[in-house]
A and B are shown apart, each in its own frame.
Chain A
Amino acid sequence: MAQLLIDLVKQQFGVAVLETHSLRGDETLTVEPNAWLAVCRFLRDTPRADMNMLTDLTAVDYPDREPRFEIVAHLVSLAKGHRLRVKTRVGDEEGDAEVDSLCELWAGANWLERECFDMFGVRFTGHPDLRRILLYPEFEGYPLRKDFPADRIQPLVPYRDVPNIDKLSPFGRDEGMSFGRQTHSGPETDDDSPVN
C-alpha cells in the first residue's frame, strides 16, 4: 500500500524524490528540501494518500555527511491505516540548517519542530513561535548533535528580570538564601561578584 503512495509521489514530483527504501515494512521516501512542504501537503491532501496525522517529526545528525541532518517525519492516515516515513536532508558542516515548517499542515508540528530546533538547531521557516521548548533560553549549544559532549557544563544563568512587572522579587540581594544568591545580581548593580 505504501509502495503505491511512493509511486504516486514519484509521479507527481519526479526528480525531487532522492531515494526510497523499505526495511521491515517501513516504507521511506527521501525528498529534496525545497520540495519538503509540497510533498507533505500533497500527501495530506490527495484523497488516495489522506495522511491526516503527523505522528512524529525529528532529526538525525550525521556529522560526516553533507547535508548533515536528516529531518524525519512519520505520517499516518487514520482512515486508510497506512503509514509513510518522509525524510529530507538539510544543513551544512557547521550545523546551519533551515527547512520549511509543516505547522500550516498539522497543528502538532508546532511543538515537534520546536523540540527539533531545541535539540538540533534546525530552523523551521514559517514556524509561528520557534523557541526552545524542553531546555531554557540561555542553554548553549544543541545537545542531540553528535559533536555535543554529554558532560558539557552549562554556564550559570543570571537572575531573570521581567521588565514592567509590578512585583518585588521575593528576596533582596542579601536575604533569603545564604549561598548562591550573590551570583544572581540584580539589575541595579551588575557587578561580577565571585560565586562563593
Chain B
Amino acid sequence: MEPLDQELDQAELEMPAEPMLLNVGPAHPAMHGTVRCVMELSGEVIHHVDVQVGYLHRGFEKMCERGTWTQVFPYVDRCNYVSPMLNNVGFALACEKLLGISVPERCQWYRMALGELARISDHLTCDGAMAMELGAFTPFLWMIKAREMIWDLMEEETGARLTHSFGRVGGMASPPTDGFKEQARAVVKQILSVVAEVEKLLLGNRIFLDRLEGVGVISAEDAISLGWTGPCLRATGVPYDVRKAHPYLKYAEVDFDVPVGSASDCFDRFMVRIEEIKQSARIIEQSLERLADSGPINVDDPRVILPPKDEVYNTIEGTIQHFKIVMEGLKLPAGEVYSYTEGGNGELGFYLVSDGSGTPYRVRIRPPCFLVTAGLERVITGQMMADVVPSFGSLNMIGGECDR
C-alpha cells in the first residue's frame, strides 16, 4: 500500500511551535533501565536532549576497595545483570593476567560455553524488550521463555539463576555437571527454534520494520569517536569484536563469524544481535565438543585456589592454606593491568591496580553501556519523539553496568 501522505510537501507540514521541555524518565515504562532524558521539543522533533544517568549508582568501585579480590565477584555479577557470567569470566581473566597464570584447557572451554550462553541471554533480552516496547508482546514472551531455559541450565550448573558468583581467580567454583553437555545442546536447539519463530513473526511485520529502519542512524566515525563497541558498533559496519581482534580463552580456535550491519540504524542493531545469537550457538557447540569430560578445572597453585574441603578439615596445611586465602585474600603482585573481553554490549574492560596487598587498590570497570549511552544524545537529536523508544531499546542500556 502506498503511503497516503506522499504527495504532501514536508515543508507545508511544519508548524511553528514554541520549544517545549519534556521530561522522560527516570521510570518510564518504555525505558528499561533508569535513565532520564530532558528533551527540548519543537512539535515532535527533538532539538536538544540531556541524557542523565546515575539512578542505579551503587558505588561498585568504592566497595571493591574494601574487601579481597575474590570478594569482587558478587559485585561484578550485579553490573551487567543480564549476562553476569561474562562479567565473572572477564574479572577472573583480569586477575589472572595480573598474576600471570592461565587456567587449564577444560576450564577455558567451560568458561566459553557458559559465557556464550550468557551472551545469548543478553541478546534475547535486548531484542525481546525492543519488540515489546514497540508493541509486539508475543516475541518478548517467547524470548524470555528461551532465556528462562538458559537460566535453568545456569542454575543447574552454578546453583543460582541470575547472580551466579561462579567465577574464581584461577578457575571456576566447580566443574561442569554430568548432564551439562546434553542439557546445553538441548537448550541451544530450542533457543534457535524460538529465534526462528521470532524472526518469522517480526521480520515480515511492516509496523515493526517501519519503526526501526532508518531510525537512530549514526556514522561509523561518530560511533568510534564515542567509544562504542559491541553490537552497536558492528551495526555501523566496523567488524570490531574482541573475540576476533584480540582472542582470549580459546576463541582463536573456534570457527565463527562477526556479523556487521550496513545502515547502522536500529534495525541493523536488532539484526546484529539476532545473528550473534546464532554465532554464539555455533561457538557453544564447538566448545562442548572440545570440553573434556574429566581433568582439572582449576590451576594447580595452592596460593590461588582454595584446598578441597576434606583437606581443610583434616590437615593442618589445608587449614592454614584456606585461612590465608580467605582472611588475607589473594596476593596479586603490585602493578596495573587492563584486561578486556567481549561482554554482551561490547568491550568489557577491567583496569586493576594492585599494591601487592590482599585488597584491591583500584578496580575500574570499563562499562560498554556507559559509552554507548553517551551516544544516545547524538542518536536521537533531530529525530521524532516516537523514535526515542526504538533507539534507546536498540542501544541496550543496562542500568547496573552503566551506573555501577
B205-263 at interface with A (beta carbon < 8 Å): 222, 224-229, 238, 240, 245-246
Query: Is A24 a contact partner of B349 (Cβ separation < 8 A)?
Result: no
Closest to A115 in B: B370
Residues of chain B with a CB closer than 8 A to A106's CB: 225-227
A135 to B56, CA, bound (A): 10
Interface 9-mer from B39-47, B61-69, B75-83, B264-272: B61-69
Residues of chain A with a CB closer than 8 A to B62's CB: 143-144, 148, 150
Interface 9-mer from B141-149, B159-167, B335-343: B335-343
Query: Is the C-beta of A108 less than 8 angstroms from some C-beta in chain B?
Result: yes
Query: Is B57 a contact partner of A134 (Cβ separation < 8 A)?
Result: yes
Query: Is B226 a contact partner of A107 (Cβ separation < 8 A)?
Result: yes
A23 to B57, CA, bound (A): 32
Query: Is B238 a contact partner of A78 (Cβ separation < 8 A)?
Result: yes
B79-120 at interface with A (beta carbon < 8 Å): 97-98, 100
With A24-B98, A24-B337, A55-B349 in contact, is A135–B54 under 8 Å at CB?
yes
| Most chain B beta-carbon neighbours within 10 Å: one of A52, A111, A112 | A111
Q: Mark A132-169, 1 if CB is under 8 A from B, else 0.
A: 11111000000110001010000000000000000000
A61 to B362, CA, bound (A): 9
- Minimum CB–CB distance for A60 against chain B, Å: 5
A150 to B246, CA, bound (A): 36
Interface residues on B, range: 35 or more
Query: Is the C-beta of B53 less than 8 angstroms from some C-beta in chain A?
Result: yes
Closest to B333 in A: A23
Query: Is the C-beta of A110 less than 8 angstroms from some C-beta in chain B?
Result: yes
**Candidates B238, B338, B362, B371; contact of A85 at CB < 8 Å:** B338
Closest to A109 in B: B227
Residues of chain A with a CB closer than 8 A to B353's CB: 60
Residues of chain A with a CB closer than 8 A to B362's CB: 60-61
Query: Is the C-beta of A56 less than 8 angstroms from some C-beta in chain B?
Result: yes
A110 to B98, CA, bound (A): 29
**Candidates B240, B366, B378; contact of A56 at CB < 8 Å:** B366
Residues of chain A with a CB closer than 8 A to B245's CB: 78, 81
Query: Is B225 a contact partner of A108 (Cβ separation < 8 A)?
Result: yes
**Candidates A26, A54, A85; contact of B227 at CB < 8 Å:** A54
Closest to B61 in A: A144
Query: Is B337 a contact partner of A111 (Cβ separation < 8 A)?
Result: no
Closest to A148 in B: B62
Query: Is B54 a contact partner of A53 (Cβ separation < 8 A)?
Result: no
Closest to B238 in A: A78
Query: Is the C-beta of A58 less than 8 angstroms from some C-beta in chain B?
Result: yes
A117-145 at interface with B (beta carbon < 8 Å): 119, 132-136, 143-144
- Minimum CB–CB distance for A98 against chain B, Å: 21
**Candidates B97, B347, B371; contact of A24 at CB < 8 Å:** B97
- Minimum CB–CB distance for A141 against chain B, Å: 11
Q: Is the interface of B mostly helix, strand, loop or mixed?
A: mixed
Residues of chain B with a CB closer than 8 A to A144's CB: 61-62
Residues of chain B with a CB closer than 8 A to A53's CB: 224-225, 227
Query: Is the C-beta of A35 less than 8 angstroms from some C-beta in chain B?
Result: no
**Candidates B246, B347, B370, B374; contact of A81 at CB < 8 Å:** B246
A175 to B82, CA, bound (A): 40
Residues of chain B with a CB closer than 8 A to A16's CB: none
- Minimum CB–CB distance for B291 against chain A, Å: 27
A134 to B246, CA, bound (A): 31
Query: Is B337 a contact partner of A72 (Cβ separation < 8 A)?
Result: no
Query: Is the C-beta of A74 less than 8 angstroms from some C-beta in chain B?
Result: yes
| Most chain A beta-carbon neighbours within 10 Å: one of B98, B100, B227 | B227
Residues of chain A with a CB closer than 8 A to B224's CB: 52-53, 78
Query: Is the C-beta of B278 less than 8 angstroms from some C-beta in chain A?
Result: no
Query: Is the C-beta of A28 less than 8 angstroms from some C-beta in chain B?
Result: yes
Query: Is B225 a contact partner of A150 (Cβ separation < 8 A)?
Result: no
Query: Is B336 a contact partner of A28 (Cβ separation < 8 A)?
Result: yes
- Minimum CB–CB distance for B300 against chain A, Å: 21
Query: Is A24 a contact partner of B53 (Cβ separation < 8 A)?
Result: no
| Most chain A beta-carbon neighbours within 10 Å: one of B98, B100, B224, B373 | B224
- Minimum CB–CB distance for A143 against chain B, Å: 6
Residues of chain B with a CB closer than 8 A to A61's CB: 362
Query: Is the C-beta of B403 less than 8 angstroms from some C-beta in chain A?
Result: yes
Query: Is A134 a contact partner of B53 (Cβ separation < 8 A)?
Result: yes
Known: A112-B371, A133-B54, A134-B404. 10 other contacts (CB 8 A): A23-B337, A55-B340, A55-B366, A74-B338, A83-B338, A108-B227, A108-B374, A115-B370, A133-B52, A150-B62
- What are 23 A-B residue pairs whose CB atoms fall within 8 Å in the complex? A23-B336, A23-B337, A26-B338, A53-B224, A53-B227, A56-B338, A60-B353, A60-B362, A61-B362, A72-B364, A74-B349, A78-B224, A78-B245, A81-B245, A85-B338, A108-B228, A111-B371, A111-B374, A115-B370, A133-B54, A134-B403, A136-B54, A143-B62
Q: Which 10 A-B pairs have the closest CB atoms?
A: A108-B227, A134-B54, A111-B374, A56-B366, A134-B57, A107-B225, A108-B226, A23-B335, A58-B364, A107-B226
